[in-house]
Amino acid sequence: MPSGDGKGGNMIRIGILGYGNLGRGVEYAVEANPDMELAAVFTRRDPASVKPRTQVPVVAASQAAEWKDKVDVLILCGGSATDLPKQTPEFAKLFNVVDSFDTHANIPTHYAAVDAAAKAAGHVGVISVGWDPGMFSLARVYANAVLTNGADYTFWGRGVSQGHSDAIRRIPGVRDAKQYTVPVPAALEAVRSGSNPTLTTREKHTRECYVVLEEGADAAAVEKAIVTMPNYFSDYDTTVHFISEEELQRNHAGLAHGGFVIRSGATGENNAHKHVIEFSLKLDSNPEFTACVLAAYARAAYRLAAEGAKGCKTVLDIAPCYLTVQTDAELRKALL
Amino acid sequence: MPSGDGKGGNMIRIGILGYGNLGRGVEYAVEANPDMELAAVFTRRDPASVKPRTQVPVVAASQAAEWKDKVDVLILCGGSATDLPKQTPEFAKLFNVVDSFDTHANIPTHYAAVDAAAKAAGHVGVISVGWDPGMFSLARVYANAVLTNGADYTFWGRGVSQGHSDAIRRIPGVRDAKQYTVPVPAALEAVRSGSNPTLTTREKHTRECYVVLEEGADAAAVEKAIVTMPNYFSDYDTTVHFISEEELQRNHAGLAHGGFVIRSGATGENNAHKHVIEFSLKLDSNPEFTACVLAAYARAAYRLAAEGAKGCKTVLDIAPCYLTVQTDAELRKALL
């Protein structure tokens, strides 16, 4: 990338929209990047009710336009179901934006909406940044580009699936629940062997549910409702554990997650040579790690905008050199 | 990336310079990519003595200028010690070029030479493409960009180190030798635990040597010469096995290799949350896999040149979307 585009220059002024687990993670991530500073936290709640860990102004989201020239990149920390489809195109009118939109099936629609808004306003919008989509997408694309003759496998976990936990909570009689997605060790080993196994949904992951019942609820009925639930559980081996609210708080409040992207393929005469490419993450805090990825791509958004780029980008459109604080020459010397 | 730049359009015409293990690997890789065709093999040997596996013209390297308009990208398959420092800048005058220059310490010098030649000629030159440098560099840079507070670890093997095998062969009394670099399992586990251990050279890898002696050579003297050799062996736990030439051919002719890039780091309050990012390769054929990476970056060189790019690039300068045969929209839908 060209020099003089912000590398070693001005601080990148970051805004956060939404101060939940992810927003708090971005606050930490900005501190961990020497060329960034947090300019403001924007919220749809009463700003007086939001107390950031650091000394940073809290601003009503409705007043964001006043910060147009005081924020270089806005990192959107809302959810993919209802927040981001609306917010990312809307705030791309005011700022360069980065989001972690993760509803895979709706990415093309979201891309089109953000692209139109960002192009019209002359901003850069980077969507679907995080670990999946995000770093796992990178692993899949690089591995596919290199091993053209092969098969892809993505395993998630061990970690909490928010969507599956929510699905359990909607069952009558359930007060609270956490659902862990767990890769099946034998499936992982089969994939790593390079044998390109065909694996059913059931063979790849198991699901573990920790459920707190309402008083007087029928445990057997709840368990049946879980394990037979289409799409979410019926295609998996699912175990259900009924526990107390105290135990759920004590043992299942963590936000750890992770997973594996593996591509195995073959080359050469009669495809005799097998190769296995594996990328994995083991994360103590899903939101704090996602926030780190968002911060790196906020730097890219800032630099791309400084170069005159406009419109929507994903991690697949951005060269790695845009992500780090080091200059290209430093990268070639130290990390290439 | 812009549409209409070769995606789904013309076939990319590839040239190979040097028909050894790597050149043969590229010949296979071109066949495995539906948008590529092999135009010619260039050689410094007598062209009549070179017999490609497929029906492709073999051309004296000195006649390459005549192929200027019949080859889109030349993939250089020579060695990093003496071939590539001379060849890559030289052939960048005629073609877009891709090489696998892997002498890490000399990358800045090589970059400058290729950049000057490619810019003057209006070509793209992609250097240091393969798995290390190459895919391991990508893993290091992405992981550093995301986990800014952490430590890097690269392990190689189990696989044959050409440089170390050559160093043994230069010892008087040695007829032939193969040296395996082997990661120490306990070190790998310590790194994966996220404890950010400080590891000495000796703690990370062991070296296994399989040596065929000349008749009458002094085995004890050869062993001592190996294990005490500075830089190559003295900092490692090295084992030396004396075997027959037949056994070397039978059991140690393979070209398998691989390794691990791991970054562990911490985020959040008091850095309480640990994260581990791991990328690994397990390769049956080092040259055939390297060739696959070269082919993917040949596609990128072709597309970058079609966009008007000029000069030297590395894997760090190229967005992933340039590497695959799929369109950007297909990538967003299927792999993001």
Q: What are phi and psi of A159, to 5 degrees?
A: -170, 165
A133 interfaces chain B, CB cutoff of 8 Å: yes
Give the separation between CA A274 and CA A265, rounded to whole angstroms.
6
- How far CA A162 is from CA of A30, A180, A234, in Å, comes to 25, 9, 17
Is residue B32 domain-shared with residue B153, that is, in the same domain? no
Q: Nearest residue of A to residue B336 by CA position?
A: A137
**Closest listed residue to residue A173, CA positions, set A128, A211, A227:** A211
Would B214 be classed as within a structural domain? yes
Question: Do the chains contact at A320 and B316, CB–CB below 8 Å?
Answer: yes
Q: Is A280 exposed, middle or buried (0-12, 13-18, 19+ CB in 10 A)?
A: buried
User: What is the rounded average pLDDT of the residues B260-276?
Assistant: 97
Q: Which two tokens stand for residue A278?
A: 């594996």
HSE of A152, CA atoms in CB hemisphere, 13 A? 17
Q: What is the C-alpha to C-alpha distance for residues A209 and A256, in angstroms, rounded to an integer?
A: 16
Structure tokens at A147: 């091993």
**Do residues A297 and A100 make contact, with C-beta atoms less than 8 angstroms apart?**
no
pLDDT of residue B5: 42
Q: How many domains does chain A have?
A: 2
- The per-residue pLDDT for B296 is 98
Question: Does B312 carry a binding-site annotation?
Answer: no
**Record: contact B279-A139, CB cut-off 8 A:** yes
Q: Nearest Cβ partner of A268 from B28, B149, B272?
A: B28
Contact A332 B268 (CB under 8 A): no
> What is the SS3 assignment for A155?
strand
Q: Would you call B272 an interface residue with chain A, using a CB distance cutoff of 8 Å? A: yes
Q: How distant is the Cα of A254 from the closest Cα of chain B, in angstroms?
A: 11
Same domain, B155 and B281: yes
Q: Do A321 and B321 touch (CB under 8 A)?
A: no
Q: Is pLDDT at B3 greater than 80 in this prediction?
A: no
Rounded to whole angstroms, the Cα distance separating A276 from A263 reads 6
Instruction: Report if residue A3 sits inside a domain.
Output: no
d(CA A311, CA A309): 7
pLDDT reported for residue A8: 47
Are A256 and A300 contained in the same domain? no
In sequence order, the 6+-apart residues with CB closer than 8 A to the CB of B65 are B94
DSSP code of residue A11: P
B20 is in an annotated binding site: yes
Q: Which residue of chain B has the CA closest to A261?
A: B279
pTM reported for the whole predicted model: 0.95
Q: pLDDT > 90: what percent of chain B?
A: 95
Q: Do A28 and B104 touch (CB under 8 A)?
A: no
Please tell me the distance from the alpha carbon of residue B177 to that of residue B160, in angstroms, as a whole number.
10
Clarify whether residues B321 and B270 are in a common domain: no
Asked if B191 reaches chain A (Cβ–Cβ under 8 Å), the answer is no
Interchain proximity B284–A291, CB inside 8 Å? no
Q: Quick one: B250 and B207 in the same domain?
A: yes
Q: Is B283 helix (H, G, I), strand (E, B) or coil?
A: strand
Q: Is A112 on the interface with B (CB under 8 A)?
A: no
Residues A80 and A63 in one domain: yes
Query: Which residues from chain B sit within 8 angstroms of residue A141, using beta carbons?
Result: 320-321, 323-324, 331, 335
Q: Are residues A52 and A17 in the same domain?
A: yes
DSSP letters spanning B235-278: TSEEEEEE--HHHHHHHS--B-EEEEEEEEEEESGGG-EEEEEE
How many CB pairs (< 8 A) connect A and B?
A: 209
- Domain holding B280, by residue range, is 147-285
Which CATH number characterizes residue A198's domain? 3.30.360.10
pLDDT band at B6 (very low <50, low <70, confident <90, very high): very low
Residue B1 lies in a domain: no
Scored b (16 or more CB within 10 A) or e, B166-201 reads: ebbeebeebebbbbbbbbbeebbebbbebebbebee
Question: Which amino acid is it at B112?
Answer: A
- For B80-139, the pLDDT digits (tens) are 999 999 999 999 999 999 999 999 999 999 999 999 999 999 999 999 999 999 999 999
Q: Which residues in chain B have their CB less than 8 angstroms from residue A142's CB?
A: 135, 138, 320, 323
| CA pair distance A14, A95, nearest whole angstrom | 10
Chain A nearest C-alpha distance from B77 (Å): 16
Interior CA angle at A181 toward A180 and A183, to 5°? 135
pLDDT attached to residue B197 = 94
User: Is the Cβ–Cβ distance between B136 and B128 less than 8 Å?
Assistant: no
* pLDDT value, residue A9: 59
Q: Is residue B3 part of a domain?
A: no
Nearest one of B171, B257, B134 to A336, comparing CA atoms: B134
Which residue of B194, B280, B336 is in closest CB contact with A316? Answer: B336
The minimum CA-CA distance between B149 and chain A, rounded to whole Å, is 7
The predicted structure's pLDDT at residue B10: 83
Q: Does residue B21 register a pLDDT over 50?
A: yes
Say yes or no: A277 contacts chain B, CB-CB below 8 A.
Answer: yes
Task: Please list every residue in chain B whose beta carbon sits closer than 8 Å to the beta carbon of residue A285.
Answer: 267-268, 273, 275
A321 to chain B, any CB pair closer than 8 A? The answer is yes
- Co-location of A276 and A172 in the same domain: yes
User: For B293, which of A138, A146, A329 is closest by C-beta distance?
Assistant: A146
* Mean pLDDT value of segment B170-191: 97
Q: What is the DSSP secondary-structure string of A41-102?
A: EEESS-GGG---SSS--EEEGGGGGGGTTT-SEEEE-S-TTTHHHHHHHHHTTTSEEE----
Do A276 and B268 lie within an 8 Å CB cutoff?
no
Query: Which of B133, B275, B328 is facing A336, going by the closest CB pair?
Result: B133
Please check whether residue B159 lies inside any domain of the structure: yes
| Å between A26 CA and nearest CA of chain B | 10
Residues 48-107 of B with CB under 8 A from A: 104, 107
The verdict on A145 touching B (C-beta cutoff 8 Å) is: yes
Query: Is A180 found in the same domain as A227?
Result: yes
Q: Is the Cβ pair A336, B285 closer than 8 Å?
A: no
Do B96 and B166 fall within a single domain?
no
Best probe of the B interface among A273, A280, A288, A322, by most B CBs < 10 A, is: A273
Question: Which amino acid appears at position B218 of this protein?
Answer: D
Predicted ipTM? 0.95
Residues B291 and B262 in one domain: no
Residue A125 lies in a domain: yes
To the question of whether residue B209 is assigned a binding role by annotation, the answer is no
Q: Along chain A (336 residues), what's the average pLDDT of each consecutive run of 10 residues? A: 48 98 98 98 98 97 98 97 96 98 95 98 98 98 98 96 93 97 97 94 97 97 97 96 98 96 97 97 97 98 98 98 96 94
Helix intervals (H) in chain A: 21-31, 83-91, 107-121, 135-146, 162-169, 185-192, 201-204, 219-227, 245-251, 286-306, 328-334
B135, B273, B333 ranked by CB distance to A142: nearest: B135
Write the residue in A142, A288, A332 that is nearest to B138 by C-beta.
A142
Provide the pLDDT for residue A162.
86
CA A322/CA B145 separation, integer angstroms: 9
CATH number at residue B302: 3.40.50.720
Mean pLDDT on B297-318: 98
Question: A273 and A222 share a domain?
Answer: yes
